[in-house]
Structure formats: structure tokens, C-alpha cells
Structure 1
């Protein structure tokens, strides 16, 4: 059996007000060809199908159109919810999609056995079982006892996540002991690198679990949430496929990919690179350097290339703001667009305060960054700050999940 692992589609994502619908359309068209060429039997999508819990009409339309394209290939498809997804929204057409061999696990079912999905061949024999674990919310892993402190709360979160995977491993062993078992998850594992487009989950990612906490029963663990493709160090193959398209400028150098497993050969995946449909270009330097770099841009892509400018000068020069704006207004390259710019001065007069902070717009900051800036302005002890940060993160998670 051949299996393809992908995750973090983030349909409806906007990058500095530029929508990425065309990027995703190109990806799906490429994915269809990839599935056909490699004769894939099963596709796993490990969470964050949408970028928002309440996606736009356009995002939902693109999602269902993509499912129809994949369904026409005659494959089986399993989709789990991520921290950006609404479980109820994903689960709404669950029964209908199941008739099309598309299995949806938007949130953790009350009966864990429902998260075990047997994969059969054409004769009806079970060849593989998938433990489809979605993003585990606080309500899924709450303990009856109230944690005494911040560290105890973190430890209980880790134990709760680990318990879900180990319970499913036990159920799979009891019911499908003669076939391999693959797990899906949407979480933060320790020791991985993140990008700026990932929201904090489970108390600012500090509840990241160790590879050993997944247990040793699963043959492969297909993870989502981290957008940079990478492997988690473990005896078991544990991989993040990464996002299929670039979702932030911090991902501009990533080679996006999907992962393919051929169970006849084992459970070490093969990385299949996804072609780049547009470039994200970051230009840094002095005014003259920025000006020259805008004249020597790379070859155009299928889609409009997006540019972020970071102008850095040693001495404070008020006129530079005007000159940079004038340069941007005069920029006229049809296949390129400047979507963000900022200025930093290395030497700043004391009376001007923190120019970097002033140059940042509120819309550029994440909610956690704004909260941290406010906390830095007040006198608060280390333990008290941790408790306040914990309360804020839990409130933020509740808001995003609703």
C-alpha cells in the first residue's frame, strides 16, 4: 500500500493581505498528478485544513472542490482537525464524505474507537489501521484535580496527550493486532524548529511532548502543526510533512514537500518536493542597497512574487521614510509586489525612544506579542508572570477555537 502524508493546508490564508487561493489551487493540481504518478492508495492530512475556525465562503468552496478532485482518483482520504480548525465545521458533512471514502475526524470523538480507521483492500481485507488523532484541546485532556502550579499544569498536559496516543495503541493492538498501525497527530513535539506563521498551542508550545511519549506501537507517526518539514528524533519514524505552500516570509527558503510511504518497503518515508509557484523575497540593507536589489530581481514565477523590505541605516534620517515610500510607489514590476516594508536605525537619539517599536504597526504583531509587551511594562514576579501567561494563553486558545 502506498500512503501520502501532507498537513497544514491553511486554506484561506492571507499573507500581508495577499490571499493564497491561487497557490493552493496550483498545489492541488500538482498533488493530483503526484498521486496518479505514484499510484497512491491513501492520503493523510494531519490538521489545519483551514486558516480560520470560521472560514470564508471562498475557502470552503476551495476545500470541497479539492476533495472532489481527490475523490475522482479513487483513493482513500483521512483528514484530522488542527488548532486552526473548527471541529464542528469539519465534522458537519462527515457522514456524506464517508460515503466517498473520505474520513473526517474534526475533534477527538467521545468514543476513542471511532478514531481508529481500518484501511481495506479491494477484497475487503484490513491491510492497515490509522489512529487519526486531531488537535487535542484543553477539554480533551483536562484532569479532575486542579494543578498546584505552572509546572504541574504543563506536565499534566503532556501526560494527557500521551495518554490519548497510548490508549489508541492499546485499542489497535486488541482489535487489529495483525496489521500495521499509523498514527496521525497535530501538536508540538520537542526539538523541532518553528516558523513565524504558527500560532502557539498548548501554553506557548511549552507542553511539547517527547518522542518517547507516543509509545513504541506505531509504525509511523504523521504529524502536522509545524510548517517546516522535518523529522522528530526517535526509533519510530515521526515526521512533519510541513505546509505545502509558503505561509510566511520565514518559510521562504523551505523546500516544501509531501511524504510517501510504501508499506512493502517499510515505513521510512520518501520526500517528494513540491514545485514553487511563487517566490517570497526579503530585501535587507541600506537605502542604496535596497534600491539596487529591486533592480536585480529573480526570474518571475507562475504567480506574482511577494517582496518584504527591511531598510537598515546606522544614523537616524527622517527623510528616509519619504524616500522609501517614494521608491515603493514608483516600483512597477507586474510580476512582483512589495507587500511589507519597515525601517530600522541602529543609532537612535534617546528622545526618539524605540524607533523599531514605533515603526511596527499593531496589525503586524501577534496577540501574544502585544500581551508580552504590556507585561514588560509592569512589575511582576517570575512565578506570577508564568501564571498570568498561562491564563492569557488559555483564554486566547478558547477564543481561537470558538
Structure 2
């Protein structure tokens, strides 16, 4: 039995106003070729198939076409809901996709029996038993009690998730025993396991409730396919508990490490081989750091860059002085080059120095407007290289601050 584990596609993502449609389409084409070449029996997408609960129409079309194309390869598809996915959006096509050998588990708000099922190999024989666990919403597994502290709520949710996994695993064991066939039990999940490395594009999915799930809470399944963390990695030094990571970089800090899908091969119930397969890069992306002079030098190599699409850049400037015309300078340096500056920011050390400078001034010396403007000076708004758009954003932020300040001052006079 051959399983392909992937996750966090985020179809429909807008990346600093740039569509990822072409990248996703190329990735899907590459994935279908891999499924055909390796004769994959089942593909598991461990959550976040879409980037938002209301994905654009092209993302839905891409998803539906992928389902059709993968069935032509006689391959089972399992789609798990993630924290970015809408339960209703995934469920709206669930019954139709079931006719195309596709299992969709959008939430844990269904019966336990519906979350444990057998998937077949290419010959139609039972190949594995799946404990299909999507992103777990607290309301689906836990009933809160009045008077609980934050710590008690976190502990209760952790225990509820652990119990949910254990109940599914015991049901899977019973199914395997009843079948009399030596097949693996595979569990899934879309959460943050303790001890993993996150990236900037990963949102904390249990804010104020659960920081991470302890790896010892997972059942002793033969393989555990996880999603939510975008960097491929092993959990708790256990080779069989894996994050496949996202197939394309979803933030600039994900560059520098390969993007992967996991190929898992079983002989009977034993995991015979775990093979990370590197995903090709479908869009040039780079991070340039340093002083303006070094960045200018680094940009010269793009003078003869003739790719069909511009290279997307994140530029982080290191300067001891505050440069009010930084965006204009970068725009001049990149003019005529086949690049798009999607993110421009100042070095964190510089921002920290500015903050320390402000801290030396007492609040008594400054008006609320002055404090706000000093704090605003430390921010760089991600509006690509559109200086006009940055001014519009700044104007909106200032107007909102003025409105809030006026409301606070008005309330103060009525006390």
C-alpha cells in the first residue's frame, strides 16, 4: 500500500496581492504525474485545502478538477478540513465526491464511525484503516464549564483531543481485528504538536486555549499524517509522526528549505519506507538583506534575468538612520528589473533602536497623537512597491486612530 501525504495547499491564497493560481496549477500537475509514476494507492490532504472559508471560484474549480483527474489514476483521495477551511464549503460537495472515491471529513462534528473507514488499494482490496481527524474545534469535543481558569480550559481541551484520538484508534483496532487482514492504521491531524518549528504564515489555531498538543497524546498508529505546520518535519523524534509541510512557500521565511510531500509505503501493517519527495519551485522568490549599498549590488544580477514571470522579493534594509524615503529609493533601484518587491521592511534591530529611543521619553512629555505618530514611524506597510497605496493606508490608519481617540476623550468628559 502506497500513501502520499500532503497538506496546507491554501488554494486561492493572495500573497501580497499576487495570485498563487499558476503555482498551484503547476503543483497539481506535478503531483498527478508523481501519483501515476509511483502508482500511489491513496493521497491524504491533511487540512487547509483552501486559504479562506470563501475561496474564489477558480480555487473551487481547481479543487474539483483535481478530484476528477486523480480518479482517472484509480487513486483514493482523502480531504481533511483545516482551520482555514469552511466546514460548509467542504461539505457542500461531499456526497458527490463520495461517488468519485473521495472521502471528505470537514469536522469532528459527525459520528465516530464516520471518522474511521477503510481505504482500498488499486486492486480494490482493503489497504489501510484511516482515523480521519481534521482540525478539531473545541465545541465539537468539549463542553465548557463556568468558572474554569484559562489553564483548566487548556488542560480540558488537550484531554478531550487525546480521548478523541484514542476512541477512534480503538474503533480502528476493532475493525482490523474483525477483518482478519494485516493492514496499517493511519491517523491524521491538523494542529500544532509541541516541539515543532513554525513559520510566519502559520496562525495560532488555539489562541488562548491550547498552545500545542503533546505528542504522547497521539495513539500508536502505524503512521500519523499531520497538517497546519508549513515546514516538513518529524514530531517528537518519531519517524512515523510527520508534517509534510505546504507544497509552496506561503511566506518569505519559508524559503531556503525544500518543500515536500511524503511517500509512505507499507508491507502489511508495517511501515516499510518513508520517502520525502521534494516539490519543484514554480515561482522565483528571494529575500535580500543588508544595507542599501549591498542590496543595490545584489539587485544587479537581475539585469539579465529573463524568466517568464518576475522574481518576487522581500527586501529587509539594515540602516542606523531612519530613512523616510526608503520605499522611493527601493523603487528607483528596482526600476527596469524583472522583479516585484512584495515586502519591504526595516531590520528588526533598527526598529528596536527606534523603540528604545521612544521609551526614553516619558508619556507626560508627549501627546497621544505624538505617541501614535512615533509608533507609526516604526511600521512598514506591506503594499508592495505602490507608494500611493501606502499613503492611502496611512491615511486610513490615522483616521481610525483619530476616531478612537475622540470616542475615548468623549467618554472621559462624561465620567
Offset, 1:3: 0.8
Q: The residue matched to 1:108 in structure 2 has which SS?
A: coil
- Contact residue 231 and residue 240 of structure 1 kept, 8 A: yes
What TM-score, normalized by structure 1, do the two folds share? 0.83
Q: Find the partner of 2:289 among 262, 284, 289.
A: 284
| Aligned counterpart, 2:86 | 86
**Structure 1 residues 238 and 194, CA, compared in 2 at 3 Å: closer, same or farther?**
same
Indicate the SS of the match to 2:206.
coil
Q: Tell me whether 1:153 sits opposite 2:153 in the alignment.
A: yes
Q: Which residue of 1 aligns with 2:274?
A: 269
For the residue of structure 2 that corresponds to 1:78, the secondary structure is strand
RMSD: 2.6
Q: Is the 8 A contact 1:155 1:207 kept in 2?
A: no
> Aligned pair 1:68/2:68, yes or no?
yes
Residue 193 (structure 2) aligns with: 189
SS in 1 for 2:320: strand
Report which stretch shifted further, 27-36 or 296-305. 296-305
Gap runs ≥5 in structure 2: 362-369, 385-396, 402-415
Q: Which of 186, 206, 211 is the equivalent residue of 1:207?
A: 211
| Alpha-carbon distance in structure 1 between the residues aligned to 2:3 and 2:307 | 30
CA distance in 1, matches of 2:133, 2:22: 29
**TM norm structure 2:** 0.80
Q: 1:164 to 1:303 in 2, by over 3 A?
A: farther
Aligned match of 1:341: 344
Rounded Cα–Cα distance in structure 1 between residues aligned with 2:272 and 2:223: 6
Contact 2:227/2:245, CA 8 A, preserved across alignment: yes
- Structure showing greater Rg: 2
Which of 371, 379, 393 is residue 359 of structure 1 equivalent to?
379
Gaps of 5+ in 1: 365-369, 375-402
Does residue 1:169 correspond to 2:174, yes or no? Answer: no
The answer to whether the 8 A contact 2:162-2:217 is kept is yes
CA distance in 1, matches of 2:175, 2:60: 36
Kindly state the Cα deviation for residue 21 of structure 1 after the two structures are TM-superposed: 0.6
- The answer on whether the counterparts of 2:144 and 2:153 sit within 8 Å (CA) in structure 1 is no
Runs (4+) of structure 1 exceeding 6 A deviation are: none
Match of 1:384 in 2: none
Measure, in 1, the Cα distance between the counterparts of 2:252 and 2:204. 18
Point out the more displaced range, 230-239 or 102-111: 230-239
The corresponding residue for 2:364 is none
Q: CA offsets per residue over residues 244-267 of structure 1, 9 Å max, x none? A: 011100111120011011112725
Structure 1 residues 301 and 184 mapped into 2: Cα distance closer, same or farther (>3 Å)? farther
**Cα distance in structure 2, aligned partners of 1:242 and 1:326:** 37
Cα distance in 2, alignment partners of residues 16 and 340 from structure 1: 8
Tell me what 2:30 maps to: 30
2:252 corresponds to: 249
Worse overlay, 310-319 or 104-113: 310-319
Shift in alpha-carbon separation, 1:271–1:362, aligned structure 2, 3 A: closer
1:309 matched to 2:315 = yes
Q: Report how far residue 303 of structure 1 moved.
A: 4.5
Change (3 A) 1:293 1:204: farther
**How far, CA to CA, are the matches of 1:357 and 1:206 in structure 2?**
34
**1:230 CA drift (Å):** 0.3
Give the CA deviation at 1:163: 1.2
Distance 1:173 1:239 in 2: 21
Deviation at 1:340, TM superposition (A): 1.9
Q: In the aligned structure 1, how far is the partner of 2:343 from the partner of 2:66?
A: 30
How many residues align structurally? 362
Cα distance 1:306–1:322, how it changes in 2: closer, same or farther (>3 A)?
closer
Greater CA deviation, 344-353 or 148-157?
Answer: 344-353
Range that drifts further, 169-178 or 13-22: 169-178
Checking the alignment, whether the CA contact within 8 Å between 1:50 and 1:85 is kept in structure 2 is yes
Q: Distance in 1 between matches of 2:325 and 2:100?
A: 62
Q: Distance in 1 between matches of 2:167 and 2:222?
A: 16
Find the residue that maps to 1:359 and give its secondary structure: coil
Cα gap change, 1:343/1:207 in structure 2, threshold over 3 Å: closer, same or farther?
closer
C-alpha contact (below 8 Å) 1:258/1:273 kept by paired residues: yes
